[in-house]
């Protein structure tokens, strides 16, 4: 009998980019018990390790909007360094207080790097043509 794979098959970098993923960091840049802060499209996110997975969460704690980049990762929990609220890094849910949950983002690993599927801002719609002031056409 064969063992199940530890993680999903890896995709190629190009396949991930084609799906809209963004390069976040190298897997080796993510410490075992601390989040790694990355900037994606100007937003701070935290990449955390949990077993064989890499998870992406909002950087700012919903309690006081402070960065959790110096937080502690213990198992499946991220502990805010400011007032020690605990968050489930697999769901973003706060386990200490009924505050707002952190958003989580889909991740993938390819060629030793972590990629994040971060929602893009809505595409700009083309502005309607404007009639110049004073034009009688």
Q: Considering only residues 64-83, where is the footprint of ligand FES by CB under 6 A?
A: 64, 66, 80, 82-83
CA distances to 8, 93, 94 from 61, rounded to whole Å, are: 30, 11, 10
- Say if strands 77-79 and 72-74 run parallel, antiparallel, or are unpaired: antiparallel
Handedness of CA 101, 103, 109, 113 (dihedral sign): negative
| Window contacting ligand FES (CB under 6 A); options: 11-19, 26-34, 56-64, 124-132 | 56-64
Which of 15, 90, 102, 23 shows the shortest CA–CA distance to 53?
Answer: 90
Question: Applying CB under 6 A, which of residues 54, 85, 115, 118 lies at the interface with ligand FES?
Answer: 85
DSSP-assigned letters across all residues of 77-125: EEE-TTT--EEETTT--BSSSS-PPPPEEEEEEETTEEEEE-PPPPPPP
50 in contact with ligand FES (CB under 6 A):
no
93 in contact with ligand FES (CB under 6 A):
no
Nearer to ligand FES, 37 or 82 (CB): 82
Nearer to ligand FES, 19 or 83 (CB): 83
100 in contact with ligand FES (CB under 6 A):
no
**Least Cβ distance, residue 33 to ligand FES (angstroms):** 18
Residues that bind ligand FES (CB under 6 A): 61, 63-64, 66, 80, 82-83, 85
């Amino acid at each position: 009998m064969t063992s199940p794979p530890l993680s999903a098959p890896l995709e190629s970098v190009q396949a991930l980019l084609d799906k809209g993923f963004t390069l976040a960091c190298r897997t080796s840049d993510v410490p075992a018990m601390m989040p790694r802060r990355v900037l994606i499209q100007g937003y701070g996110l935290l990449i955390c390790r949990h077993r064989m997975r890499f998870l992406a969460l909002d950087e700012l704690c919903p309690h006081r909007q402070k960065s959790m980049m110096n937080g502690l990762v213990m198992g499946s929990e991220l502990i805010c360094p400011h007032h020690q609220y605990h968050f489930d890094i697999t769901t973003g849910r706060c386990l200490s207080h009924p505050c707002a949950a952190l958003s989580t983002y889909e991740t993938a690993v390819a060629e030793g790097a972590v990629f994040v599927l971060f929602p893009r801002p809505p595409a700009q719609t083309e502005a309607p043509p404007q009639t110049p002031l004073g034009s009688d056409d």
